Each structure stands twice: as C-alpha cells, then as structure tokens.
Amino acid sequence: MEHSERIVRLETGPRPARPKPSWLKVRLPSQANYFEVTRTLREQRLHTICQSARCPNIGECWSDRTATFLLLGDVCTRSCAFCSVAKGRPEPPDADEPRRVAEAVAAFGLSHVVLTSVTRDDLPDGGASAFARTVAAVKERKPGTTVEVLIPDFQGDEEAIGTVTASGPEVVNHNLEVPEALYPLIRRSSPHYQRSLKVLRLAKSKGVTTKSGLMLGLGESEAEILQAFSDLRGVSCDLLTLGQYLQPGRDLTPVRRYYRPEEFEQWRLIALDFGFRAVEAGPLVRSSYHARRMAEGLSGGSPA
C-alpha cells in the first residue's frame, strides 16, 4: 500500500493548542504500588526520567511497579527547548549508582528495565561507561532481566557507543525527537540530526535491536514525518514510538497542534508500512511506554 493512501484527510498546519483535549487527561495515582516505587527510589537515592521529564504516564507505570531510571544525576549539560530536565553543571558521577539501580530492579521484580541518562558532555566518554556498569550490575543482580538503554548521542563518539553496546543491552534506543526541518526549533542544528542517525546505524551494526522516537505537535508537515520514517528505516531502525509533544514549561517550545488518537493510529499504520517491526503510537506514548511489551513481542514472549 502506498503510504499516502494511509493518510485520510489529516489536518495540516498549526491548530489552536489550548484548551488541552480530553484524551490527554490522566488520573492521579492511587495504587499502593505507586507509593512503594516512590519509597524505593527515595531510599536508593535514584532519579527517574518519569519525574524529571514530567511524564504523563508516571501514575500508570509506577502503579505497575516500573520506572525508567535516570543515570548520572538529574542535571543536563544541554539546553534543548522541549525538555524540562534541569540544565546546568552536574555533580560528578556516583560510583555506587549502578548497584543501587540493580537493587531497585530486583525490588520491583522487573523482567525488562529501561535505563537512560542526562546528557553529560562534561565527561570524556559522555557517560557511556556508567551505562555499561549499570547494565552489568542489573544482569548480575537479576539474571534474565532484559535491558533497554535510551542513550544520548555521545557527540557521535564511536568508542562510547561501542562501550554501551558491548555491555549487552537487548535494545538500544536513541530518539530522533522531530523531523530534521524542526531541529532549529528545539535548539539543535541539522548536523545533530545526522549524528543521531549515525548513533542508530552504529548500534545496529553491533547486532542489537534499535529503537527511536518522534514527538508530534511542533508544526511538522506530513512530508517531514514521512521523511523521518524513511531516514530511520535507512539505518535499519527496528522499533518506533510516536507521541504528542506537551510543553513542559512556560519557557519551552509551545505546542502547535494536538493530534487526535485516530491520527496517531493512522501514523502507526504508515510506520508499519515502512517496515518497522513494532510501533507504539498515541497521544501519551513516550520513549519507554510499553517498552516491555515491545521487547517481548519481538522475542515471542507474552506481552503484558
């Protein structure tokens, strides 16, 4: 099927961003598991991207006793215009953090864990060795756990990327974020787009499953979305997430339009036509949303 045949009267251009539509509303957490996760993270002195990025799914995921661990502190060295993670000068890496993450994984009983980090351009390897030590600690503490790493671009350093892939993660995730034409809008240049594709290409060359994600709602055109799909498949990216961009702070890039749930479903089908092995798409989908389900679906397991 031609990709254009999937697009059924999708609206183009900006749409009034407010009020926020009903399908983006989430319930406040109330399950005991949520508060247990909160307590464990506090006791182990761990950060999560769930909190730092103000993820709308935090109630659902923590109630399911899962979280995306944020390595290397909670202060980023970059100032991307779409992200609410704190910016500034980070603290030195915590050598005991990998052990504590592994203990939390065991406490939560996770069969699939997602590890990410702030971008640490201040470190010689960009934090790659911290990823590798944490992957090793998780697999030692809880054998059989599959690990997904959501990595920064490491400034394109091939050795750093190799350090992470050699540690044995089952999935290497690196987000393209938006189509190339929108990179200046999020305070990135076009070379950063090509660098991100390079990260995915290098990871794939090591034989791991690769994954990426796009945010929709910043003013992208249909043609630009299709080009991003093509670029990702050009580096053999296996998995894709598509979610609605939500402005996390007053000083960050505003939402240009909200996509309806049925539009996300259309884009999911189009992405599958491109050859992605699995696609999660929806207004509240984020990089690690249903990560276990995607990973288990590839391996033939029974998705939860």
* Predicted structure pTM score: 0.86
Angle between helical axes of 261-274 and 222-234 (0-180°, round to 10): 40
Give kind and range of the element (H or E) at residue 140: helix 128-141
CATH code that applies to domain 27-299:
3.20.20.70
Lowest mean pLDDT among 33-37, 114-118, 175-179, 217-221: 33-37
Of the candidates 295, 240, 289, the one whose C-alpha atom is nearest the C-alpha of residue 111 is: 295
75's tokens: 């202060």
| E strand or H helix at 175 | none
Residue 226's pLDDT band (cuts 50, 70, 90): very high
HSE-CB at 120 with a 13 A cutoff on CA atoms is: 23
Least-confidence region, from 106-110, 168-172, 210-214: 106-110
What is the pLDDT of the chain when averaged over all its residues? 84
Structure tokens given for 267: 């884009």
Q: Residue 227: which pLDDT band, with cuts at 50, 70 and 90?
A: very high
Query: With 80 as the cut, is the pLDDT of residue 260 above it?
Result: yes
Q: For residue 119, which of 49, 22, 28, 37 has the smallest C-alpha distance?
A: 49
Residue 17 has pLDDT above 60, yes or no: no
